[in-house]
Amino acid sequence: MIDAKSFLAIITARGGSRRLPRKNILNLGGRAMISWTIEAALKSKYIDHVIVSTDDQEISDISKECNADVPFIRPIELATDSATSVDVVLHSIEELENNNKYYDYVILLQPTSPFRNAKNIDDSIDLLISKRSDAVISVCESSHSPLWCNTIPDTGDLSKFMDISILNKRSQELKKYFCLNGAIYLCNIKKLRQEKTFFLSKNCMAYKMNKKQSIDIDDEYDFTYAKALLSMDSNFE
């Protein structure tokens, strides 16, 4: 809690994953991947309650061993590829409110961002409070400028691929672009219910994170890359 406002952390972890099976509980650095996010949330000085929303009993058991609360098993209809994160978050909030547990803000933390830490979480909450915003979403600097990207016609012709004004510029001369990193989605619960998105129409701020902390594990390549980084450097502050 901060500034008399309460914060609920929801870690979403369904059992199914097509590109990287059982990814949420794969062994990363000697422990289940989800444990990294649970630990970060529990170490936050502002979060009042940490829960895991899952449809999977093994994930539930591991989460409880890591001291997260698993107050319910997620319904099957919210564990499909078509179910949105907002649907899952709103369901979790309603389940808690049915048991007389109410919060002002919710922070969605996905297990696939294992190197996002407690400081990142607390800094994003500090940003929300200091800017008097209703939502904060984490981003990182894009590795490749979108100015160097375009679609390619079936002919493969690149003559119109890039604007002539960009062709001879070095990357250092281009504007910085940022992309979503999936690590932190923080929002006022009333606003989330109204707009059904973390990307509120106003009072939504960006929280910038570095590239290491922004690693998002979605497939085997991402997982191998994360393990390699961890073996070289365990400090992701």
In a domain, 11, yes or no: yes
Q: What is the DSSP secondary structure assignment for residue 114, as one 8-state letter? A: T
In a domain, 89, yes or no: yes
Is the model's pLDDT at 234 over the cut of 80?
A: no
Measured CA to CA, the distance from residue 177 to residue 218 in angstroms comes to 22
Higher pLDDT, 185 or 169: 185
CATH number of the domain bearing residue 64: 3.90.550.10
In a domain, 173, yes or no: no
Is the model's pLDDT at 236 over the cut of 60?
A: no
In a domain, 172, yes or no: no
Is the model's pLDDT at 43 over the cut of 70?
A: yes
HSE at residue 160, side-chain half, CA atoms within 13 A, is 4
Three-state SS sequence of 134-179? CEEEEEEECCCCHHHCCCCCCCCCCCCCCCHHHHCCCHHHCCCCEE
Is the model's pLDDT at 75 over the cut of 80?
A: yes
In a domain, 163, yes or no: no
What percent of the chain is predicted at pLDDT more than 90?
84
Is the model's pLDDT at 12 over the cut of 70?
A: yes
Measured CA to CA, the distance from residue 42 to residue 50 in angstroms comes to 7
What percent of the chain is predicted at pLDDT more than 70?
98
Give the type of residue at 226.
A
Residues 86-133 pLDDT 10s? 999 999 999 999 999 999 999 999 999 999 999 999 999 999 999 999
pLDDT reported for residue 1: 86
User: Residue 178 CB: number of other CB atoms within 10 A?
Assistant: 13
Residues of 72-110 as b/e, b for ≥16 C-beta within 10 angstroms? bebeeebbeeebebbebbbbbbebbeeeeeebebbbbbb
- Confidence bin at 235 (pLDDT 50/70/90): low
Measured CA to CA, the distance from residue 217 to residue 18 in angstroms comes to 13
Residues 122-176 pLDDT 10s? 999 999 999 999 999 999 999 888 888 999 999 999 988 988 888 778 777 888 9
Q: Which of 53-57, 64-68, 160-164, 200-204 bottoms out in mean pLDDT, i.e. has the lowest?
A: 160-164
Residues 22-38 pLDDT 10s? 999 999 999 999 999 99
In a domain, 81, yes or no: yes
Is the model's pLDDT at 237 over the cut of 60?
A: no
Task: Please say whether the beta carbons of 15 and 81 come within 8 A.
Answer: no
In a domain, 168, yes or no: no
Measured CA to CA, the distance from residue 79 to residue 98 in angstroms comes to 21
Say what the pTM is: 0.93
Question: Which two structure tokens, joined as six digits, stand for 54?
Answer: 């899952």
Give the type of residue at 209.
M
Is the model's pLDDT at 180 over the cut of 70?
A: yes
- Confidence bin at 3 (pLDDT 50/70/90): confident
pLDDT reported for residue 205: 98
> In the chain, how many domains are there?
1
Measured CA to CA, the distance from residue 113 to residue 36 in angstroms comes to 9
Domain that includes residue 198, residue range = 7-141+179-230
In a domain, 83, yes or no: yes
